[in-house]
Structure 1
């Protein structure tokens, strides 16, 4: 199993202290967390893309380029690239450039994105967002593979024998499809034989497991080898402590503050108590053995071979956050790496024979 640390660069007051860091300090925190993730042995670091309050992740290529300069080994992920909002030609240029700068350490997770405000900002409607996502991916995919592209597009000016630079480093970049609630995203992934990344954050496991079963069915429908399926899954929170009692004690103020925020802002509340959150959500909170057991329970439902955890402290102190990540990597990750297989492809740049 492989492990990613991911941030959406949420910028709101700390759920426990109520203090909101200056914007520059928040970006510095992201960079520090990326360096820490590599230092501790995580396999990937991901940055989201959102174009609305309270997120600072509107330019993931810029952030990941800086992360690329500070790191050497860790793979860089987007989480997710919102192709329904973007011009696929411009997105290709940005990500092909980033892929050269990081020497082929880039993986993309694409999706239509969430949020009414960012959809309105880019004048995308609920009726056309899936068509935009599918068309954007088709063009993006062809640009990465073909030196010249002709495409009769609906949502951007048509392309006629278009040549777009730079030409890619990876041939091609690996693209995962982010999935939260819709069969459209899993069908698009299955159609192209691409890996799937389940959000697996807001609800209990059942709706996510149902979508992944649909993905597997569509994968076989499109004639792909079932042995080549790769699934990743998110988590709703992370705090690993030597004992379950300590984990609950430390995480309780974080949960209660987040619960109050959900109620105050009218967000749906799925888990009313910390105990229910720990038991039925995807949050990895508890002793090392409890976290290992929970990932196994989710693996039985999802069959995932990549797991993401939060890169941010999210209400924990810096010391609590670092101690948790260190314990995760020293006592949890080694067991899961032994017991759950890796994805069915190399965790390395995708290069043609002349570059290997």
Structure 2
């Protein structure tokens, strides 16, 4: 099993202390967390994309490029790239550049995105967002695979023998499809034989498990090998402590502050108590053994081979957050890596062969360090 640490770069007051970090300090925190994730042995680090309050993740390519320069091994994920809002040509240019700069460490998770404010900002409607997402992805994947592209498009100017630069490093980049509640994203992933990443954050397990079952059905419908399926899954929170009692005690202020925020902003409350949240949500809160057992329970339903956890402290003290991540990597991850298989593909760069002439650096990332 592989493990990612992911941030949406939420920028609001600390849910426990009420302190709001400056924008500069919040970005610095993201960079520090990415470096820490690599030091602790995480397999990937993901940055979201949102174009509305309270997120600072409107430019994941820039953030991930900076992280690429600070790290050497860890794979870089988007979580998610909102292709329904983006020009696929411009998105290709940005991500192909990032892929070269990182030495082929890029994976994309794509999705239509959420939020009324960002839809309004880009003049996207609920009625056309799925069609935009599908069209943008179809153009994007062709640009990555073909030197010249001709495409009749509805939501951007048509392409005629278009050449887009730089040409790719990975051939092609791996694209996961983010899935929360809709069958459209699941079907698009299955159609193209791409891996699926379940959000698995807001609700109990059942609706996510149903979508993953549908994905597997559609995968076979489109004629793909069932053994080649790859599924990732998110989590609603992380705190691994020595004992379950300690975990609940330390995490309670975080949960209660989050619950108060949901109620104050008219957001739906799914889990009324911390005990219910720890038991029925995807949050990994408890002793190492409890967390191991919970991931196994989800794996029995999902068959997932990639698990993401929150990269941010989210109200925990810095010391407790770091201790939790260290405990996860030292006591939880090894057991899960042994018991649950990796995805059915190599984790490293997807390369067709030598990419540079003899005598030049193996990657631009090596050249700039």
Q: What band does the TM-score fall into relative to the shorter chain?
A: over 0.9
Q: Which residue of 1 aligns with 2:49?
A: 49
CA distance in 2, matches of 1:147, 1:168: 10
Q: Which residue of 2 aligns with 1:226?
A: 226
2:60 is equivalent to residue 60 of structure 1: yes
Q: Which residue of 1 aligns with 2:328?
A: 328
Deviation at 1:353, TM superposition (A): 2.5
Deviation at 1:354, TM superposition (A): 3.1
CA distance in 2, matches of 1:103, 1:153: 32
Deviation at 1:103, TM superposition (A): 0.3
CA distance in 1, matches of 2:56, 2:347: 29
Taking structure 2 as the reference length, the TM-score comes to: 0.96
Q: Which residue of 1 aligns with 2:29?
A: 29
CA distance in 2, matches of 1:353, 1:109: 25
Q: Which residue of 1 aligns with 2:352?
A: 352
Deviation at 1:221, TM superposition (A): 0.2
Q: Which residue of 2 aligns with 1:106?
A: 106
Deviations, residues 211-268 of structure 1 (Å, cap 9, x unaligned): 0000000000000000000000000000000000000000000000000000000000
* Cα RMSD, aligned residues only: 0.6
CA distance in 2, matches of 1:276, 1:310: 19
Q: Which residue of 2 aligns with 1:186?
A: 186
Q: Which residue of 1 aligns with 2:252?
A: 252
CA distance in 2, matches of 1:293, 1:158: 51
Taking structure 1 as the reference length, the TM-score comes to: 1.00
Unaligned 5+ runs, structure 2: 356-361, 363-369
CA distance in 2, matches of 1:229, 1:321: 33
Unaligned 5+ runs, structure 1: none
Q: Which residue of 2 aligns with 1:211?
A: 211
- Structure 1 residue ranges, 4+ long, deviating more than 4 angstroms after superposition: none
Give secondary structure in 2 for the equivalent of 1:50.
coil
CA distance in 1, matches of 2:176, 2:264: 34
Deviations, residues 286-320 of structure 1 (Å, cap 9, x unaligned): 00000000000000011100000000000000000
CA distance in 2, matches of 1:11, 1:46: 16
2:91 is equivalent to residue 91 of structure 1: yes
> Equivalences for 1:1-356 in 2 at 5 Å?
1-355=1-355
Give secondary structure in 2 for the equivalent of 1:63.
helix
